[in-house]
Amino acid sequence: MAAKTVNVALIGTKFMGKAHSNAYLKVAKFFDVEPQPVMKMICGRHADETAEFAKRFGWENHESDWHKVCDRKDIDVVDVSTPGGLHHDISVAAAKNGKHVFCEKPLAFNLKDARTMLETARKAGVVHMVNFNYRVVPAIALAKQMIAAGEIGEIRHFRATYLQDWLTDAKFPMNWRLRKEAAGSGAHGDLNAHHVDLARFLVGEIGEVVGMKKTFIAERPAEGRSAGLTATAGEGTEKVTVDDATLFLAKFQNGAIGSFEATRMAPGRKNYNRFEINGSRGSLVFNFEEMNTLQYYSCADPAGRQGFKAIMATEGVHPYAGAWWPPGHVLGYEHTFVHAVVELMGAIQKKPTIMADFRDGAQCVAVLDAVEHSIDEGKWAKVEMVE
């Protein structure tokens, strides 16, 4: 008989640590999940802060050494919500110890590490999931269903922009997201990763890419203290070692073409995560700043009545929405993490899931890597396929 609960250890206490903790707190209150997650252990670098975090969010125990967490016999799931530089080591250690692994994106800094993570998890026979949480936005999950049903026909274009402005000011201090050794890359790995996954999820595999990137502010005030997308300045300055913006074009294996733009240098854009998909029979448009709405254009509408219509994805017939509020009572960013945990618990019970696994995560890294190769070589680059 399958266990009715699983003990979760979460590693990371900042932006993603809060989002994941909130999801574990709420999931069983709104969804009939089995197994139910038990918030057994929180792990962070600073012992005092982690102890306070455990008390605030309801974690039973706290730890400052992730190695000890991965070794514990009473942990079933390790949730890796750290900066990307630790994803590989923690995920591999957890899987080798027989733990299911739930990892933040991007999966790894390079395809070699991503393949190792995938191979280790497969060999261990554990569930391995990457938190591409936009897949479980109700409007995007609805778009997936509509595409599968042929409602927009043969897909021809995928057009994506992910715009933020939090680094526009040259006086904004350094934080870990601006250091290659901690973040891997800048806007490319942080923002383009989401759209690469959505493109694969909604359209299909990407075969070739060509790109360009730019670091507009090469040196910033040194970091004093940072958390999430905020920071205070310390003494002196520090060189930025990642991209501020990366753009690329893509050729899909099924014949569609795509364009991708990610930047943290777009004044006025806070989290402008938008994509448009054009098919032979219609179009779909999504913008995360209006995340409850999916825009749909149908070529089958009668002449004089054609135009984009807004589908409010908050009714019980829409994926995940029925567990929350009455129609029209909108959901927010935090709900996507709850939905991801629903999928994680289902996967542990061997149910089908629409969430990304480590193979999806590795394929996303393969696309990101190919873009980097194309920039270095000044020409189109083929994307390696992960089996």
Return the structure tokens found at 285.
Answer: 């448009």
| Same domain assignment for residues 142 and 49 | no
| Same domain assignment for residues 97 and 174 | no
H-state helical runs in the chain: 15-30, 47-57, 66-71, 87-96, 111-124, 138-148, 180-183, 187, 193-202, 333-348, 358-377
pTM, to two decimals: 0.95
Domain boundary among 133, 165, 189: 133
The boundaries of the domain holding residue 98 are: 5-133
| Same domain assignment for residues 118 and 142 | no
> How confident is the model at residue 387, as a pLDDT?
95
- Given a contact cutoff of 8 angstroms between Cβ atoms, the answer to whether 288 and 304 are in contact is no
Q: Is residue 51 part of a domain?
A: yes
> How confident is the model at residue 2, as a pLDDT?
67
Domain boundary among 108, 133, 158: 133
Each residue of 285-295: pLDDT tens digit? 999 999 999 99
> How confident is the model at residue 225, as a pLDDT?
78
| Same domain assignment for residues 224 and 110 | no
Max CA distance (Å), the chain:
66
> How confident is the model at residue 226, as a pLDDT?
74
Domain boundary among 133, 160, 182: 133
Q: What CATH number has the domain bearing residue 108? A: 3.40.50.720
Q: Is residue 368 part of a domain?
A: yes
Among 108-117, 172-181, 208-217, 350-359, the range scoring the smallest mean pLDDT is 172-181
Name the domain count of the chain. 2
Each residue of 242-269: pLDDT tens digit? 999 999 999 999 999 999 999 999 999 9
Count CB atoms within 10 A of the CB of residue 325: 12
Q: Facing residues of 237 across strands?
A: 221
| Same domain assignment for residues 269 and 312 | yes
Q: Is residue 343 part of a domain?
A: no
